[in-house]
Structure 1
Amino acid sequence: MDDLELRTEADAVLAGLVGAPEGSARLREDQWQAVAALVRERRRALVVQRTGWGKSAVYFVATALLRRRGSGPTVIVSPLLALMRNQVEAAARAGIQARTINSANPEEWDTIHEEVERGETDVLLVSPERLNSVDFRDQVLPKLAETTGLLVVDEAHCISDWGHDFRPDYRRLRAMLAELSPGVPVLATTATANARVTADVAEQLGTGAGEALVLRGPLDRESLRLGVVRLPDAAHRLAWLAEHLDELPGSGIVYALTVAAAEEATTFLRQRGFRVSSYTGRTENADRLQAESDLLENRVKALVATSALGMGFDKPDLGFVAHLGSPSSPIAYYQQVGRAGRGVEHADVLLLPGKEDEAIWRYFADTAFPPETQVRRTLAALADADRPLSVPALEALVELRRTRLETMLKVLDVDGAVKRVKGGWISTGEEWAYDAERYAWVARQRSAEQQAMRDYVETSRCRMEFLRRQLDDEGAQPCGRCDNCAGPWAATGVSADALTGATRELDRPGVEVEPRRMWPTGMAALGVDLKGRIPAGEQSTTGRALGRLSDIGWGNRLRPLLAENAPDGPVPDEVLRASVAVLADWARSPGGWASDGPDAMARPVGVVAVPSLSRPQLVDSLARGIADVGRLPFLGTLTYTGPDGAHAVRRSNSAQRLKALSGAFAVGGDLAGALAGARGPVLLVDDYTDTGWTLAVAARLLRRAGSEHVLPLTLAAAA
């Protein structure tokens, strides 16, 4: 078959894919070049093109052509459920049978595996996390490598730890690439790769198969009009959204930096009469599906989302993207704003930066590869073990938070130093070198990205050109559309009514703090005799905090007060008043001591403080102030008996935190006497809860000393 016949066949598949009459759709030349490389030349190719360019059209057209020529199914490694759902629907339009394996459909996995083996599936979409599953890696992946007709790596910048969104699960693709049969084409696609990431991904693709073809296009988005609206505080920014959301074209996405901020904004906008939905990492799968559907069908004005909606959501007529706070990377920002304007001539993109943005960046910045001492400690623990160790078991031996420990293990797995097996992780015994230079460079890169985001807000030059240069787009030039090129176009004023409403929403205090109910695994290895479920008679109730450090309401006021180097002092009056308001709302809530009904709790008999090493005045004045306003006796403070600094350890995992706290507190004589003479519920007051173990240990002591219930009240919760 010559090029003309192959091109005609490819265009016919495209027509089915986009729902156009046969003969009325045609691949662009750059799309055709990629399809031809895959189908005719069976090459490995990396396509770096702007969002909306049509990367999915390339691999679906190539799939149809390869399947007609007897090739096996296409395997697409895809990072997000939203992307998978969109692609399954798109494939069906072209007569391509697509199935997906991800965390949302485990009950279908066996059936899908059987369909793939029978040749009934044309496309299998797999989440990167599946690649690191023991059963999938050992049983399914080898068969896929033998039968795959085309391997597609979507959002391929995730392969590279030089990139802004490195995901170690993607590194497992190196093994699959090496095991593919000769002549199997591979396509990697991304819209967010600078020159360094492009070179890194291309090198990984070409391993053992010759040099990969790199097809890189200009990254300008002619439909997007970029702007920055600078407002004095979070209340003004929420008020601005309420005042101007209806002026933004069509329906769109409002991105927030944290789950708490997304939920705050959603609540406020709904109060102002907007049809909006929240979309975050906490959103249940069924609710995500409904939210996606509502936005696709324009039943809502906006989804208020975190980066959980960062990649892959495909709505061609999305009219706007607004950011309530700056992302920490201009490359991530470019990716998110690229959701808009894919199928319309005009879309608005607005950034509303906040003073709290950098504090939030720092809070979530605990993702760097651990120091060599911690990595070596992990490797030694695995080498010394006579059985596989689970992540919870390793937590007892390594001072790393679970997410960071899991990420480190995945990297070590791909590097060959450890292996994931049934029951946990084992050491392979292979030599492993700590690449300190590389990890330091990545850390510097993250810092440079944050500075670039600050520069984006301040620049007087073209904003689209700025973003394109961050992605090493050689053709970057002024766009003529943004607020710097064409002049400010977004109003900055807010009405007194909207500002009052936003202030009231952000001033509303109180979030629930769930108690710990299970002791961490592996405490015996640390010499602590605690395991299994915490007895109900030793638990606290669900507590309350004034706010979350990650929200834009009380979080903005609490972060400076609780900062590591903040001076100690009496609790500010407004913070005490708000804490009392939280207590009053709690009392009136169902089951509270001032509520009606058989489940109502007895009124607290007094207040107990947690001893603080870093902020003793703050905690003591808070506890005594609450006791005074609530007309409750201040029963005293738990005695701190641990070594200096041990109880201040925070950002570690649960096992290490509990070890530091075990035996660190005692119910002193005066407090013991006060509790014995006033049996009943007590309020337990502290400044901050992160892991929840301080409250759990203190509550256990108080329950054992005779307290009927322990009601934790803190100024801040971590998230």
Structure 2
Amino acid sequence: MAVGYAWTRLALACRTKRQRARRVLDCTSPIMLLASRSTSGHDGYGVFRPLLDLDSQKRRIDETCPPDAVLLRHTRHLGYRSRTQKSALRALLTMADAGNLMVCMPTGAGKSFLFQIAALVERSAEPGACVLVITPTVSLALDHERTLSEIPGLENARALVGASTPQDRDRRTETLNAFRRGEVLVLFISPELALGSARADLLDSAASPDEKLARLAGRLTSVSIDEAHIVESWGRTFRPDFQRLPSLIADLRADQPKLKTVLLSATLRRGRFSMVHMQELGIGSKSMPACLGVSSISPSRHLRIQRRATLNSTG
């Protein structure tokens, strides 16, 4: 009796396993169809190949944004990356003295292109004109420096970073002196350094050359704050110097009344940023132009799907 019961249990177990196997290997199921199609191609990607082809393409230039005189005169580009970029650059180059501009563009859409062109245009109009860029991290500042070192006219752009040795401190002092002399067209700096040891040099660079004892030729004309949304997200507790930037802008404008301010971000929203109370930067002012929108492609993401067989040792 016990043997018969055991055989019955075994038969039921085997039938259950066969049913499960048929369900798993059922070629009409959506999963199996997708898997079979995904490996039907010669390269193993099958139905997913269009996704990879679309995602691996180089960033496209919007053909509806032909180059203008500014782009052709100061760069080697034959067109703008997007209509947002072109509109932002026009707003930057045509805004009044002491104006403020907020630009929100996707990551990789060419926000840094704005202060690059601004530096070249301002230097051609005013000898000794310099641009200050506030960056949140050292790696970002160094990356900007490497990028600008390959652009004609911006080869002397420098990133001011912390100094841990006497040699580093001497190098930092020489960079600030070169910025005051007008030899460094674009200077990248953290808010801590801008409000700390470099503050006096920045104020001196904003002053008129006629008011300087050494008759230094450098003159600060605009300040750009890269990743400006960090002012609100980090500035409260993590790095409070970000929320002290309005005081720096106010002091710089006392010496340079025509100073322009540009806020660059990929996630900046006017309503959220107004909580920081940065009236000195023009936030919340109806006269401040804003270029907002998404009109370019995000950086490429590569997705690879592979079929992987697994063995179940338990049967």
- TM-score above 0.5, yes or no: yes
Q: Is the 8 A contact 1:203 1:211 kept in 2?
A: no
Q: Is the 8 A contact 2:273 2:283 kept in 1?
A: no
Matched, 1:14 2:86: no
Cα distance in 1 between the residues matched to 2:159 and 2:137: 11
Cα distance in 1 between the residues matched to 2:274 and 2:307: 42
- 3-state DSSP of counterpart to 1:66: helix
Name the structure 1 match of 2:227.
155
- 3-state DSSP of counterpart to 1:187: strand
Name the structure 1 match of 2:116.
60
1:116-135 alpha-carbon deviations (Å, 9 max, x no partner) = 121111001111221332x3
Cα distance in 2 between the residues matched to 1:161 and 1:46: 17
Cα distance in 2 between the residues matched to 1:195 and 1:165: 21
Matches within 5 A, 1:243-322: none
Matches within 5 A, 1:170-181: 170-179=242-251, 180=253, 181=256
Alpha-carbon distance change, 8 to 173 in structure 1, aligned in 2, over 3 angstroms: same
Where structure 2 has 5 or more consecutive residues not aligned to the other structure, the ranges are 1-66, 208-218
1:571-602 alpha-carbon deviations (Å, 9 max, x no partner) = xxxxxxxxxxxxxxxxxxxxxxxxxxxxxxxx
Q: CA RMSD in A?
A: 3.4
Q: Is the 8 A contact 1:155 1:189 kept in 2?
A: yes
Matched, 1:103 2:162: yes
Matches within 5 A, 1:85-484: 85-94=142-151, 95-96=153-154, 97-103=156-162, 105-133=168-196, 135-137=197-199, 139-146=200-207, 147-161=219-233, 167-179=239-251, 180=253, 181-194=256-269, 196-200=271-275, 203=279, 205-206=281-282, 211-218=287-294, 222=297, 342=299, 344=300, 346-348=301-303
Cα distance in 1 between the residues matched to 2:242 and 2:129: 22
Cα distance in 2 between the residues matched to 1:73 and 1:152: 11
Cα distance in 2 between the residues matched to 1:210 and 1:195: 11
1:608-636 alpha-carbon deviations (Å, 9 max, x no partner) = xxxxxxxxxxxxxxxxxxxxxxxxxxxxx
Report % sequence identity: 23
Cα distance in 1 between the residues matched to 2:291 and 2:87: 9
1:289-336 alpha-carbon deviations (Å, 9 max, x no partner) = xxxxxxxxxxxxxxxxxxxxxxxxxxxxxxxxxxxxxxxxxxxxxxxx
- 3-state DSSP of counterpart to 1:76: strand
Alpha-carbon distance change, 109 to 163 in structure 1, aligned in 2, over 3 angstroms: closer
Cα distance in 1 between the residues matched to 2:244 and 2:234: 16
Cα distance in 2 between the residues matched to 1:55 and 1:160: 19
Cα distance in 2 between the residues matched to 1:39 and 1:222: 25
Deviation at 1:154, TM superposition (A): 0.4
Alpha-carbon distance change, 141 to 210 in structure 1, aligned in 2, over 3 angstroms: farther
Task: Output the amino acid matched with 2:281.
Answer: L
Which of 86, 91, 94 is 1:32 aligned to? 86
Cα distance in 2 between the residues matched to 1:165 and 1:64: 37
Matches within 5 A, 1:570-609: none
Q: Provide the aligned length of Structure 1 versus Structure 2.
A: 221
Please identify which structure carries the higher strand content: 1
Name the structure 1 match of 2:132.
75
Cα distance in 2 between the residues matched to 1:203 and 1:28: 30
Alpha-carbon distance change, 208 to 122 in structure 1, aligned in 2, over 3 angstroms: farther
TM-score by length of 2: 0.60
Deviation at 1:28, TM superposition (A): 3.6
Alpha-carbon distance change, 163 to 176 in structure 1, aligned in 2, over 3 angstroms: closer
Cα distance in 2 between the residues matched to 1:40 and 1:64: 15
TM-score by length of 1: 0.28
Cα distance in 1 between the residues matched to 2:84 and 2:232: 24
- 3-state DSSP of counterpart to 2:149: helix
Q: Is the 8 A contact 1:101 1:124 kept in 2?
A: yes
Q: Is the 8 A contact 1:74 1:150 kept in 2?
A: yes
Deviation at 1:495, TM superposition (A): 6.9
- 3-state DSSP of counterpart to 2:108: coil
Task: Output the amino acid matched with 1:217.
Answer: G
Cα distance in 1 between the residues matched to 2:234 and 2:148: 32
Deviation at 1:194, TM superposition (A): 4.2
Matches within 5 A, 1:497-576: none
1:205-226 alpha-carbon deviations (Å, 9 max, x no partner) = 217987422211128x755xxx
Higher relative contact order (CA 8 A, sep 6+): 2
Task: Output the amino acid matched with 1:136.
Answer: A
Alpha-carbon distance change, 55 to 38 in structure 1, aligned in 2, over 3 angstroms: same
Q: Is the 8 A contact 1:45 1:214 kept in 2?
A: yes
Q: Is the 8 A contact 1:48 1:217 kept in 2?
A: yes
Deviation at 1:92, TM superposition (A): 2.4
1:506-536 alpha-carbon deviations (Å, 9 max, x no partner) = xxxxxxxxxxxxxxxxxxxxxxxxxxxxxxx
Task: Output the amino acid matched with 1:157.
Answer: H
